[in-house]
Structure 1
Amino acid sequence: MPAKRLLPTPEADAIVEEARRFAQEELTPRAADESESGSLRDVFTRLGELGYLGMPYPRQAGGSGQPYEVYLQALEEIGGAWTAVGLGLSVHIASCYPLATLGTRAQSERWLGDMLAGGQLGGYCLSEKHAGSDPAAMQSRARRTPEGFELTGSKAWVTHAGDADFYTVFARTSKDRSHGISCFLVAADSPGLSVRRPERTMGLAGSAVATVDFDGVRIDAERLVGGDGRGLGIALEALDSGRLGIAAIAVGLAQAALDHSVAYATERETFGERLIEHQGLGFLLADMAAAVAGARGALLDAARRRDRGLPFSREASIAKLVATDAAMKVTTDAVQVHGAWGYTKDSPVERQMRDAKALQILEGTNQIQRMVIARHLGRGQ
């Protein structure tokens, strides 16, 4: 485990400690047995009861009112125990973001409280198969009607697809590339909404990911969030925060792989010495520990900037890039430390390595993160 966390308040320490207890006692035993199939809905209900589904949002809205620095460290514990659950939590937090930050009082009073308390699980519908890294190129359309809008199109790679109670959907309301996209809150049981067969992914087993189709779905005008044409800006803001969520999960995953590796290298002996006492392996473990610590530092730097109201878009991309690359390297090295056993499905590090690959792709590939960082540097930011 990492050194004792330096959290800002005793309340924050208790929150993260409870997340650690929940992760170790309730998630870790299930991850290996249930990661291949089955709904995780009961896990998210439990997370709602514990207050984690609304953690970074204000208490008056039904959240826990915690800074991102605290939320992300709790997410690290949860994601380290079971990557699919950590991802699902991060996605739900992102799906609540538009309503929590830009919703009207009437909208918040009607929907937000139940979403933050865990009574409503959310999905985030931004990506399309032909426009994954270029959301401004989306083709899903919301046509105006006398009662509101009619939504037609498809959204790909939707986490919680089929399990969600609502979807935060971005769709085009005009031809304007940058200012012609709007954000909608769509009920999962809306006529015309359907979910395709879940994708068969290399990792993140247990996480329902699928394409969601909208065939003339009627949306009341009151479900437009943030105003007409503001959707792209809302989506990009949510992505900055979402990238911090992915980075936190990556740090937790890397820490878990390191913990497994240190335990194995401490217990296993070859040539009369513990594995960790062989310099070649000891140095490998040291590099793994340094990678985890560096990734955590980048994550907390970005989180603290966000909490202080400072620009953090560049730092969010740096944290996502550094943390997910570190997770991929650390989990790969963890398999190497475990030898032949590490390559079997009975070993947790095999699953962790496959999960780590997904984190380099989600919320914008790491190539996209490098583009974002370079553009900020070009603007002197």
Structure 2
Amino acid sequence: MTTAPHPLVAAARRLAHELLVPHAERVDQEGVPASHIEAVKRSGLLGMGAPREYGGADAPVGVARETAEILAGACCSTWFVQTQHHTPVKLLATYDSPVREKLLRPLATGEVLAGIAYAHVRAFPRVPVRAVPERGGWRFEGTVPWYTGWGLNDVLLLAGVTDTAEVVFVITEAREQRGMRPSAPLRLAALGAARTVSLELDGLWVPEGDVVLRTPREEFALVDLPRAANASPAVFGVAEAALDLLARSPDGEGPAQSLRARLDEVRREAYALADHPAPHESVPERLAVRTRAYDVLRAATTAAIVSGGGRSMTLDSRAQRLAREGMFLLVQGQTAEARRAHLGALASG
């Protein structure tokens, strides 16, 4: 007797099978189309972690991981655009603020798509974006090095650091406006389809009513460290897609089975550590498992390239796309601690 999948898992599978996988190579070359984002909005997936009273699904973390694996394995660029959305939803659901009543419901129902512009806070004591109190609000100055989903997102979650090392998170419209100017789309080796730009902030003013959270930089880092040490579900999704491709190739079934056993083992360990009740007690273990997940991802995508032979060198090759997506995931969400751990593991063999 089998249990039916969670409705959001079923929705993710339909989206992957009917839309994302058939068009993934074209999207990789041409960019994520607005029609893909509209399909994601209609699917209900954007309300995954939102409270039910705001129109969300309040789904268990296991459902969020499974749907992330499915979407990333189907079209990593589309996954990457929509995954940004879940952080603003979580912050608005967690912290009481005037902007929560204005935005959480449209975010949860998929009416509005959000992006994020706060990874630069991890560069502290360097401060790429400064937040300065001004006229009943906040003025932002500096450069956001990476912002994904430009032209697809409706709003963005922006963070800056004050002179007293406080992090200020605000919501603003994701469009060119006074004090905020996007660069041309960045030319990237992988996930260029996700419409990533840098943002020049020259006096962008945001009213106090659009502040989501103010928190000391030390507290932000304390929460961010164990979270950033976790292996991303996207790593497992892209690896699974590469192994599916490998298994269908001549001589590929045996290697695929062996690699899938390794992948299943490291996935179990990674998710068990992510669910640890005292996250700061297991940061080194999380980083070690994250590195092992990268090892399996690299092996899986390399095997898919090898099995494809010369065909893997064409830009419309699925194996090549997955390998480039795997390369991107090596640095996505990277912190200094994660980089040191990964480099140390590579150096020790």
User: Which TM-score tier does this pair reach, normalised by the shorter chain?
Assistant: 0.7 to 0.9
> Contact (CA 8 Å) 1:251, 1:324: kept in 2 or not?
no
User: Aligned match of 1:73 in 50, 61, 66?
Assistant: 66
Matched, 1:233 2:219: yes
User: Aligned match of 1:182 in 168, 172, 180?
Assistant: 168
Map residues 126-275 of structure 1 onto 2, 5 A cutoff: 126-128=118-120, 134-176=123-165, 180-189=166-175, 190-227=177-214, 229-230=215-216, 233-234=219-220, 237=223, 241=227, 247-265=232-250, 275=251
Matched, 1:334 2:304: yes
* Higher deviation after alignment, 246-255 or 339-348: 339-348
Please state how far the C-alpha of 1:84 moved relative to its aligned partner: 0.8
Change over 3 Å in CA distance of 1:349–1:101 after alignment to 2: same
User: Aligned match of 1:356 in 326, 333, 341?
Assistant: 326
User: Aligned match of 2:85 in 80, 88, 92?
Assistant: 92
Change over 3 Å in CA distance of 1:234–1:44 after alignment to 2: farther
> Contact (CA 8 Å) 1:192, 1:217: kept in 2 or not?
yes
Q: Determine helix, strand or coil for the equivalent of 1:36.
A: helix
Change over 3 Å in CA distance of 1:48–1:75 after alignment to 2: same
Please state how far the C-alpha of 1:334 moved relative to its aligned partner: 1.3
Cα RMSD for the two superposed structures: 2.9
* Higher deviation after alignment, 23-32 or 83-92: 83-92
Change over 3 Å in CA distance of 1:164–1:47 after alignment to 2: same
- Give me the whole-angstrom Cα distance separating, in 2, the residues matched to 1:304 and 1:34: 34
- Give me the whole-angstrom Cα distance separating, in 1, the residues matched to 2:222 and 2:143: 19
> Contact (CA 8 Å) 2:49, 2:89: kept in 1 or not?
no
Matched positions, count: 340
TM-score (norm 1): 0.80
Aligned to 2:29: 36
Please state how far the C-alpha of 1:362 moved relative to its aligned partner: 0.8
Aligned to 1:107: 99
Q: Determine helix, strand or coil for the equivalent of 1:330.
A: helix
Matched, 1:325 2:310: no
Please state how far the C-alpha of 1:226 moved relative to its aligned partner: 2.1
* Higher deviation after alignment, 197-206 or 95-104: 95-104
Q: Determine helix, strand or coil for the equivalent of 2:298.
A: helix
Aligned to 1:300: 271
TM-score (norm 2): 0.86
Change over 3 Å in CA distance of 1:217–1:107 after alignment to 2: same
- Give me the whole-angstrom Cα distance separating, in 1, the residues matched to 2:211 and 2:90: 14
- Give me the whole-angstrom Cα distance separating, in 2, the residues matched to 1:370 and 1:300: 22
- Give the partner amino acid of 2:262: A
> Contact (CA 8 Å) 1:318, 1:369: kept in 2 or not?
no
Q: Could you tell me the percent identity over the aligned residues?
A: 24
- Give me the whole-angstrom Cα distance separating, in 2, the residues matched to 1:107 and 1:241: 25
> Contact (CA 8 Å) 1:123, 1:166: kept in 2 or not?
yes
Matched, 1:116 2:86: no
Gaps of at least 5 residues in structure 2 are 345-349
1:276-304 per-residue CA deviation (whole Å, 9 max, x = no partner) reads: 5xxxx83x334321232123213432454
Change over 3 Å in CA distance of 1:94–1:203 after alignment to 2: same
Please state how far the C-alpha of 1:322 moved relative to its aligned partner: 3.2
Q: Determine helix, strand or coil for the equivalent of 1:357.
A: helix
